[in-house]
Amino acid sequence: MDGFETLIYEKSDHIAYVTLNRPQALNVYNIQMRDDLYQVLGAIKDDSEVRVVIFRGAGEKAFCAGADLSEFLSAPSPIVARQARFGRDVWGLFLSIPQPLIAAVHGYVLGSGIEIMLCCDIRIASEDAKFGLPEGGLGILPAAGGTQTLPRAIGMARALEMLLANRRLSSEDAYSTGLVNQVVPKNKLLETAEEMAKKIASLDPMVVRNAKQAVLRGLDLSLSEGLELERRLAMGLRGCKTELGER
């Protein structure tokens, strides 16, 4: 799969790499990127060879500086522009991917950039990363899941501070609030993400998928429902292994 205008998609040894590739515009998210991501995510979801995915941004300055404001502002109206941008449920698709997703972020991680990162399961930041949600000041709400995924990651009060007071976080702040798993020097960012990806890719893919499902789906359940889900997933795995063993 290649030939995308706004992304680079690569695969190697069960690891897929998705690179946001508009470095001249700080990798901002436009309608073409939405369409490209939709295609790539659909392919990843159906590809059993892919066991783990790394998301990153091209260029020195940004993972992604948010929505493309030139496109947004030149549309007939903000409402029409937003409908066009979010008509395809790329965010629902993102959150339904069964394989673990690792975000390796650097530089500006703003607006849709932070929301893309929040759709990923493990987040690694370089020391120069800067996080923020400027949507409020632009008169809009984040619409790529940010109002839901951010408080789940860093808690309600901190999420509201970012949303309403445009609080920006440095990489150290992001680490101390739990927004990212670790912070590394910029020249170690890809290497660290790849080490993590290789560990995950070396495990039984069904174990990995079921563990991700148990944790993610469990977050929206009561403890007793979550325990039931865990039991079913563990039994399913055992059943599957017994069946394979019997053949």
Catalytic residue among 5, 10, 71, 135: 135
| Total residues interacting with ligand COA, rule: CB under 6 A | 15
- Sheet of strand 7-12: strand arrangement: 7-12, 15-20, 52-57, 101-105, 122-126, 182-184
Q: State in angstroms the smallest separation of the CB of 44 from ligand COA.
A: 25
Q: 98 vs 136, which CB is nearer to ligand COA?
A: 136
Closest by CA to 43, choosing from 113, 114, 110, 99, is 99
CA distances (Å), 197 to each of 50, 148, 190, in order?
Answer: 11, 26, 10
From 107-115, 152-160, 213-221, 237-245, give the range in contact with ligand COA by CB under 6 A.
107-115
| Amino acid occupying residue 220 | D
Site track 19-38 with ligand COA (rule: CB under 6 A), x = hit: ------xx-x----------
Q: 105 vs 208, which CB is nearer to ligand COA?
A: 105
| CA–CA distance, 13 with 215 (Å, rounded to integer) | 26
- Interface pick for ligand COA out of 57, 66, 100, 145 (rule CB under 6 A): 66
Catalytic residue among 5, 10, 71, 115: 115
* Per-residue DSSP letter, 168: -
Does 216 sit near ligand COA (CB under 6 A)? no
Does 108 sit near ligand COA (CB under 6 A)? yes
* Contact partners, residue 125, CB within 8 Å, separation at least 6: 105, 106, 109, 171, 174, 175, 180, 182, 183, 184, 189
115 is catalytic: yes
Q: 69 vs 75, which CB is nearer to ligand COA?
A: 69
| CA–CA distance, 183 with 131 (Å, rounded to integer) | 13
User: Active-site positions?
Assistant: 115, 135
**Residue numbers at the binding site for ligand COA (CB under 6 A):** 25-26, 28, 65-70, 108, 110-111, 134-135, 138
